Chain A
Amino acid sequence: MSWPTSIAKGITDMNNILKGLQKDLLHLPRTHPKRRATAIPAMQALQAELGYLDDAAIKKITQITGLSTAEVEELATFYSLIYRRPTGRHIVRICDSVCCSMRGADQLLTAAEEYIRTSLGTVTPDGALTVLPGICLGLCDKAPAALVDGEALGPLNDASLKALLQRLQKED
């Protein structure tokens, strides 16, 4: 995952990231119904490289899917794993659903917010971290749990969470 934004990376780079997906679309006419099905994989591919989808990335997806900007925006903002705002180099999603909440997730979120000294969902000034609350991550047997860059961690407590955030801040 990288940061800064895709504007710095440039459109040519986006073509490169989407090369595989675009190749599959070459034989399809522009109005083919299956073209729009590429929208989600394309968003995921761009986001994996750029960290989030900026307006240029949305525009790029309209070009390859044939959807309007509004339609792509509708999809991008619907999904909780597609980010339309800058994210840190590391994304920590702390589960706040029922099992984790019964085991202290609410307190974890408060502790995380205190540690990062910025609100949940924003980027720390050093660009290292974004902490988000998340719905049940399917880690109820590890409650309270978090997903750190896609890796499952739990059970966490205030101390282990702080140690984790500290370690992530030092990492690239």
Chain B
Amino acid sequence: MEALLTRHLEPAAPLNLAAYQATGGYRSLTAAFDLKPEKIIGIVEAANLRGRGGAGFPCGLKWRLRGADAPSPRYLICNLDESEPGTFKDRYLLYGGPHQIIESVIVSAFALQAERALIFVRGEYAKGGNALNQAIQEAETAGLLGTNIRGSGFNLQIEAHLSGGRYICGEETAQINAIEGRRPNPRPKIPRPSTHGLWGQPTTTNNVETLINVPHILLNGADWFRKLGVNGGCGSKLFCVSGKVKHSSLFELPCGTPARELIFEHAGGLDEDRTLLGFLPGGASTAFLLPEHLDVAMDFDPIAVAGSRLGTGSIIVLDNATCPVEVTLNLMRFFARESCGFCTPCRDGLPYLTQILTIISSGAGRADDLALLDELCATIASQSFCAFAPGAVMPLVSSLKCFHDHYEHHVITGHCPFNETNKKRA
């Protein structure tokens, strides 16, 4: 497949406005302004563009559900706050081509008739955020932003918000709190952000990767977009492959490409040609999959059927020289540290899980600890306030299933079979 979303990414020196326009950039504005907003939403719906931030919610449906009669001002938030371990696609997009993001936000905001858009940039990507601010100024000067853009009667202001840096700020309602200057814990989902979001106004949040598909859909049509995918997937997808592979990188491939092709063809196979133990298909908060799942299409539904989530489409590869208990412990440390602390099951439960896992990993675990972990995971996931804890326990629950023998080995023999290669930090 020809690169689409990554075609004009230049991480060393991103294209300025003139150079971006010379490659055909901002052409989708003309296409968009010729159409009625509801028509654009219809096209995006027909294209079956699903949210790339992890949930896979249909983008067109999300836009339609907000309603055309939503009171002004209406907000569009472009979520560029990836912190999911294993995920670095937004970094490529931000550092490689800020104008692509701005173009996508303009046409999407037009479809939603949103007059204010915010791009929520991850704090660690501050340098990319600076370049984005410059690009926004360039676009403003060229009349691509502001009032009556290109005589369409559509007004739009874009602002970038640089995060203070926490994983939870990537959650839709926590992000709204963060922008408002409140403690960024998630809000109750009723009333919905689509009616009572930023400053109580209708707000639509989309992942940056979702939005950058919109210009291409407008220029080439919904049918064309759907046909880009393979094995039942729709469109182009950004995949990150990292962990124990030879060539860790970002790959743009048809949605539905199986993990086998990603790991062994594009990422060059495993380090030192070791054997694959398992992989996380969509970042840290997804369930482990095993070598038997290598041929499952990397698309939302097939991966869900296999028992995991496509998430951000970021594969983390484990080889047979890596201790899965150690890896799971690292993931749980991450989630325990990044819990926002708002609800008790998550705030207290995740450190408890981490503590038990630490004991198992050190060889001092007992056989009934494994059952305790399972029970705790079920309680924490069902009792917590937002989707953070259910996501956090997903790798642990699946790890206990997929790598049961490894856990048993730790508990029964009292030491890690990979002890030489995995030195623990106290």
Residues of A within 8 A of B (CB): 33-34, 36-41, 43-44, 65, 67, 74-75, 78-82, 93, 96-99, 101-102, 106-107, 109-110, 134-141, 143, 147, 150-151
Contact = CB atoms under 8 A, between A and B. Distances in A.
Given A97-B330, A102-B244, 16 more contacts: A36-B180, A36-B182, A44-B164, A98-B85, A99-B85, A107-B423, A109-B425, A110-B425, A135-B334, A138-B83, A138-B87, A138-B88, A140-B240, A143-B248, A150-B127, A151-B127
A73 to B, nearest CB: 11
Q: Chain B CB within 10 Å — which of A80, A107, A109 has the most?
A: A80
Interface in B126-184: 126-127, 161-167, 178-184
Nearest to A151: B127
A135 B167 CA distance: 9
A136 B242 CA distance: 12
B352 interface: no
B85 A136 contact: yes
Given A34-B199, A135-B167, A138-B91, A102 B123 contact: no
B197 to A, nearest CB: 13
Closest CB pairs A-B (n = 3): A79-B164, A81-B165, A140-B242
Contacts of B243: 98-99, 102, 140
Given A138-B87, A140-B242, A80 B166 contact: yes
B186 interface: no
Main secondary structure of the interface of A (DSSP, over half): helix
A140 B87 contact: yes
Contacts of B181: 36-40, 65, 67, 75
A74 B164 contact: no
A99 B242 contact: yes
B81 to A, nearest CB: 10
Contact of B179 (A37, A43, A44, A78): A37
A138 B125 contact: yes
12 contacts: A75-B181, A78-B166, A79-B123, A80-B123, A98-B243, A101-B330, A136-B84, A136-B85, A136-B87, A138-B82, A139-B91, A151-B127
B195 interface: no
Contact of B240 (A36, A82, A141): A141
Contacts of B340: 78
B314 to A, nearest CB: 8
A97 B334 CA distance: 7
Nearest to A35: B181
Nearest to A113: B425
Nearest to B125: A138
Contacts of B334: 97-98, 135-136
A118 B405 CA distance: 40
B350 interface: no
Contacts of A137: 124
Contacts of A151: 127
Given A75-B181, A138-B91, A102 B327 contact: yes
Contacts of A34: 199
B115 interface: no
Contacts of A106: 423-425
Contacts of B84: 136
B268 to A, nearest CB: 12
B106 interface: no
Interface string B213-248: 000000000000000000000000000101110001
Given A98-B327, A138-B90, A138-B124, A79 B165 contact: yes
B331 interface: yes
Interface in B307-328: 314, 316, 318, 322, 327
Given A80-B166, A106-B423, A98 B330 contact: yes
Q: Chain B CB within 10 Å — which of A36, A79, A140 has the most?
A: A140
A99 B248 CA distance: 10
A99 B83 CA distance: 13
Contacts of B178: 40
Contacts of A37: 179-181
B248 A135 contact: no
A42 to B, nearest CB: 9
A32 B84 CA distance: 34
A21 to B, nearest CB: 12
A58 to B, nearest CB: 14
Contacts of A93: 124
Contacts of B87: 136, 138, 140
B9 interface: no
A74 B338 CA distance: 16
A22 to B, nearest CB: 15
Given A140-B85, A141-B242, A141-B248, A102 B322 contact: yes
Contacts of B337: 135
Q: Chain B CB within 10 Å — which of A36, A107, A138, A147 has the most?
A: A138
